[in-house]
């Protein structure tokens, strides 16, 4: 499993955007948890999203996951991601206006073709460690 600290650049920015959306979603849907925490299910989703970002074959050139032709998420996680985005997307503008606008602009970018080999964050990190 990848850790947030292992991400950088666009991948880290995107992870933080997902985390902000999950926080909005969790706060509204899972009220039985201690205040200012994320419930176990939402945390598990975030950990999963972090690993997907770390392994994303597009690396720093990734499209938004919503527009991705590969879509590496397992079907139930993909569905869960859709649910979170649908709820939290329109609620992002007030607490996180810059993130919300950047995400909307990214959604309009052309979808890249097949990813080049060895561009994932995980791959580049391992190659660096082996140097
Ligand atoms: S492969 Fe596609 S769905 Fe998976 S993390 Fe990369 S952009 Fe998102
Ligand atoms: Zn939750």
Q: Is the pLDDT of residue 131 over 90?
A: no
pLDDT for the residue 90:
95
Q: How far apart are CA 110 and CA 94, in angstroms?
A: 27
8 A C-beta contact, residue 107 and residue 59: no
Q: Which tokens go with 38?
A: 């994320």
* C-alpha of residue 68 to centroid of ligand 1, in Å: 6
Confidence of residue 31 (pLDDT cuts 50, 70, 90): confident
* C-alpha of residue 63 to centroid of ligand 1, in Å: 7
Percent of the chain with pLDDT over 90: 86
Q: How far apart are CA 1 and CA 4, in angstroms?
A: 10
pLDDT for the residue 37:
85
Q: Is the pLDDT of residue 26 over 90?
A: yes
pLDDT for the residue 42:
96
Question: Does 65 sit in the ligand 1 pocket, CB within 6 Å?
Answer: yes
Q: Residue written as tokens 């649908």?
A: 86
Q: Whose CA is nearest to atom 3 of ligand 1?
A: 71
């Amino acid at each position: 499993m990848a850790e947030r600290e292992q991400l950088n650049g666009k991948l880290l920015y995107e992870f933080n955007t997902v985390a902000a959306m999950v926080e909005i979603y969790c706060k509204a849907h899972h009220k039985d948890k201690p205040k200012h925490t994320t419930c176990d299910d939402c945390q598990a989703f975030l950990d999963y999203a972090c690993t997907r970002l770390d392994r994303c074959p597009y690396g720093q050139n990734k499209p938004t996951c919503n527009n991705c032709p590969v879509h590496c998420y397992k079907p139930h996680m993909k569905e869960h991601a859709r649910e979170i985005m649908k709820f939290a997307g329109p609620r992002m503008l007030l607490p996180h206006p810059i993130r919300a606008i950047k995400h909307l602009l990214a959604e309009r970018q052309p979808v890249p073709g097949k990813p080049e080999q060895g561009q994932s964050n995980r791959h580049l990190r391992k190659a660096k460690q082996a140097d």
